[in-house]
A and B are shown apart, each in its own frame.
Chain A
Amino acid sequence: MGSFRFDPYSPAVDADPFPFYRRLRDDFPCFWSEEAQMWILSRYADIVGAGQDWQTYSSASGNLMTELPGRAGSTLGSSDPPKHDRLRGLIQHAFLKRNLTALEGHIREVATSVFGQLRDQPEFDFKDVSSQFTVKVLMAALGLPMGDEAIVDEQVVRDNAVLMVQSDARTRAKGPEHLAAYQWMQDYAAQVIAMRRANPRDDLISHFSNAELDGDRLDEREVLLTTTTLIMAGVESLGGFMMMFAYNLASHEQALHEVVGDPAMLPDAVEESLRLNTSAQRFKRRLTRDVELHGSHMKAGDFVCLAYGAGNRDERQFPDPDRYDIRRRPRGHLGFGGGVHACLGVAIARMAVRIAFEELHRVVPRYHRVADQLPWMPSSTFRSPLVLMLAAA
């Protein structure tokens, strides 16, 4: 009877979750969603607190809102310390800012060639270029076989990464096409791991797949599923974020004008986009003990959604939160999550997006959206448009 509902599977939430988030924060800060069968936390302080408290808010039963079968417990994102820390310790090193300088020149070359295709094009789908760029950058960063060694076409990797994070709006579950994409990605990861074990190189997957910790080889499922997730998360998160950043700049003429005129402002515009509407909107935890919050009694075993996208619009933390203000410098935003599971790829994401848009703006310094209404990806975890038609000038 008009009572409030929050259904992360509904196309309305895919398209615009923000009015729902406001109701959640103001009136239902600890809300049981019947549709999702989990609690929804939406205030900044609650999400930060839960993210810090991994002993209570466990990831070991899965972290994607709609989890992929057999994945929970075997990846970085879906495990708790101390297992999480040993996996992360092996991988984080490659992604630290100080270890990425070698990649910068390569990323610049990729950006120049990919965005150079837009010269003299009056209208284009930004997804076509952002997905090409993303896959090439991720393949270089992870050491996936490219060029003469390539085992599949780059775009096939991209298409499967994007499909496996989606879910079916009607069945509220992964559909056969999503599960097939997940299986494809596991098979692809297995082939890459076999190649790198046979002939190790100086790259992340070679190191990771041959690593031993305290004399123990990593569990095969951990190697396989963590590699699968790195590819998925890298492609989907970087690609999805680039779509949202282009969407914001194409929708805010003044902001675009400023970052084109002064590219040194790009990093601040990126941070504000991460806060305002980044693609990674919601992740999941499971309670290891009873918790009472805002008058709700959550029970051990219950699932809890950390709605990062809602915390990022919390006026208790960010004044005038719905405004896109590239001078805001929103420190502590949740665009990369937080706590022990904070995004591993922060430094490479910031660097790759900055370089991509520097090169895009050299070729296309002015652009705007062609359509008001966009087709949004059906996903309970991520949010980005499937198509973003832009018109130059």
Chain B
Amino acid sequence: MAHITYVAAGGQSTTVDLPDGWSLMQGAVANGIEGIVGECGGSCACATCHCYVDEADLGRLPAPAEGELAMLANVAAERRPTSRLSCQIKASPALEGLTLHLPDTQE
């Protein structure tokens, strides 16, 4: 399990406890967190689960794979060095306490 904090563009913060193996996109959607869409369901094919990983947490994540980097070109909001697709990040104890900031738009 890992506690993941999602911070909406408006500043509202929600923390949820995710089972190991769940993607951070699925965790947001299953817990009713607005601001992450996940139109393609998690197959890295739509760029609507875009998030900004908190800079303090960036070093804790494995680097994005080639497919994710290519799909990040399609995000609707500004792409930053901290941009990731949350469907490609899996919860695990190593991510305990991670914070994601959500963009103001996904579509």
Q: Does A92 lie within 8 Å of B42, measured CB to CB?
A: no
Residue from the list B30, B41, B67 in contact with A339, Cβ < 8 A? B41
Main secondary structure of the interface of A (DSSP, over half): helix
For residue B53, give the distance in angstroms from its CB to the closest CB of chain A.
Answer: 19
CB-defined contacts of A342 to chain B, threshold 8 Å: 40-43
Q: Does B19 lie within 8 Å of A49, measured CB to CB?
A: yes
Within 24-68 of B, Cβ neighbours of A (below 8 Å) are at 26, 29-32, 39-46, 67
For residue B104, give the distance in angstroms from its CB to the closest CB of chain A.
Answer: 17
A36 within 8 Å of B by Cβ? Answer: no
Q: Does A331 lie within 8 Å of B32, measured CB to CB?
A: yes
Q: Interface residues of A toward B: which range? A: 20 to 34
A222 within 8 Å of B by Cβ? Answer: no
Complex Cα spacing A157 to B107, Å: 34
Bitwise interface map of A from 335 to 370 toward B, beta carbon under 8 Å scored 1, else 0: 011111111101100000000000000000000000
A85 within 8 Å of B by Cβ? Answer: yes
For residue B63, give the distance in angstroms from its CB to the closest CB of chain A.
Answer: 17
For residue A204, give the distance in angstroms from its CB to the closest CB of chain B.
Answer: 14
Q: Does A53 lie within 8 Å of B21, measured CB to CB?
A: yes
Q: Does B40 lie within 8 Å of A332, measured CB to CB?
A: no
For residue A241, give the distance in angstroms from its CB to the closest CB of chain B.
Answer: 16
CB-defined contacts of B43 to chain A, threshold 8 Å: 84-85, 88, 92, 339-342
Q: Does B26 lie within 8 Å of A347, measured CB to CB?
A: no
Residue from the list B22, B23, B26, B67 in contact with A85, Cβ < 8 A? B67
* Residue from the set B23, B32, B39 with the largest chain A CB neighbour count within 10 Å: B39
Complex Cα spacing A317 to B40, Å: 21
For residue A331, give the distance in angstroms from its CB to the closest CB of chain B.
Answer: 5
Given contacts A89-B67, A92-B40, A342-B42, contact A52 B22 (CB under 8 A): yes
Q: Does A338 lie within 8 Å of B45, measured CB to CB?
A: no
Q: Does B39 lie within 8 Å of A52, measured CB to CB?
A: no
For residue B62, give the distance in angstroms from its CB to the closest CB of chain A.
Answer: 15
Q: Does A52 lie within 8 Å of B41, measured CB to CB?
A: no
Complex Cα spacing A44 to B41, Å: 16
6 A-B pairs with C-beta separation under 8 A: A52-B22, A96-B45, A97-B39, A317-B30, A338-B42, A343-B41
Which B residues are closer than 8 A to A by beta carbons? 19, 21-23, 26, 29-32, 39-46, 67, 90, 107
Identify 20 new A-B residue pairs, CB closer than 8 A, beyond the known A331-B30, A332-B26: A49-B19, A52-B42, A89-B67, A92-B43, A93-B45, A97-B107, A98-B107, A317-B30, A332-B29, A332-B31, A338-B41, A338-B42, A339-B41, A339-B42, A340-B41, A341-B43, A342-B42, A343-B41, A344-B40, A346-B40
